[in-house]
Amino acid sequence: MTIDVRSLFSAFAVGTSLAAGTGAAWSAAAEFPAKPIRLIIPFAAGSATDVSARLFGTELAKQMGQQVVADNRAGAGGAIGMQALATSAADGYVIGYAGPGPLAINPAITPSLPYNVARDFQPVSQAVEAALLVAVTTALPVKDIKGLIAIARKRPGELSNASAGTGTIGHLAGEYFKMLTNTNILHVPYKGGAQATADVMAGHVQMLFDPLTGVGVHIQSGRLRALAVTGPKRLAAFPNLPTVAESGVPGFEVMTWGGILAPAGIPRNVLDRLNAEMQRAVRSPVIIERYGALGATPVAGTPEQFAELIRSETAKWAKVVKFAQVQPN
């Protein structure tokens, strides 16, 4: 048998090249992150989204040994920041933090968004979830959800629901409530949650759907009356407060949530590293304690699970937006 020496050398060279390439890929994965990571936050500093994003950014930085630099890109209901994330390099060094507004509600309200959630982003992991509270002015003579429904049906269009603005989770929760209870309640948008809460306490508006962070202290002080929790279970902070579903509105469930995303096309090994770090972060005593104080629950999952949450929430809110005929500002 004749051996072609040149072929042997050629095969050896190809094999060596492939092995070197594989080694380089493993090396790159092992080295990530080799420089600071930029965390795009699509809302202003001090907002609820900003606070949540920075909590996780700080924890990720400690875990990975690299800076995670917050980059607030506020404006257009989160669209400016989301567009910046969508057009960033897909290498893991630019990530973002967002919730139901930019990811599941805005696409239904504004079809001309400068980003496409399914096309432009790679979900990394959910980070947190929290229920809202249904709170009313103490001047309203109702003690529970059944009483609220009864008075809304008796006086159609006279009750009003305050929110932090059109398209916010508080607004859409109110529209969803109307849809499932066949009631007519006026929506009153404000330029922030604090202003909305103040007007409900003053009795100018009758009700609102808001997280524990916004209304909890006012409920405890007696300036607002809580009727129910919008999540699937009761809150530890208010164990005697029933859920909306168990109060006579079966199927009603509204949660606000947030999570980490990357631009589409991020290498799978980098995605897996970021996801693993998020899995660690939600188990951090610091994260658990801080979110517990905010009435929220740290929760992580796979990229696929976060993608499914975004899809299901998008479908849900699209139906509500259509029902309520919500128009962009």
Secondary structure, 3-state, 87-141: CCCCCCCEEEEECHHHHHHHHHHCCCCCCCHHHHEEEEEEEEEEEEEEEEECCCC
Q: What is the pLDDT of residues 9-32, one digit of tens each?
A: 344 444 444 444 444 444 445 589
* Residue-wise pLDDT tens digits, 297-329: 999 999 999 999 999 999 999 999 999 999 887
Contact 297, 128 (CB under 8 A): yes
Top-level CATH class of 36-130+256-324? alpha beta
Residue 124, pLDDT above cutoff 70: yes
**Where do runs of H (alpha helix) occur along the chain?**
5-31, 48-64, 79-86, 100, 106-109, 117-120, 145-154, 169-181, 193-201, 212-221, 268-281, 285-293, 303-324
Residue pointed to by tokens 């509204």: 254
Domain with CATH 3.40.190.150 in the chain: 36-130+256-324
The ranges of the chain annotated as CATH 3.40.190.10 are: 131-247
Query: Does 131-247 carry CATH code 3.40.190.10?
Result: yes
Cα 42 to Cα 12, 32, 56, 74, 164: the distances in Å are 51, 25, 15, 5, 16
Give pTM, 2 decimals. Answer: 0.87
Q: How many residues does the chain have?
A: 329
User: In this predicted structure, what is the pLDDT of residue 7?
Assistant: 45
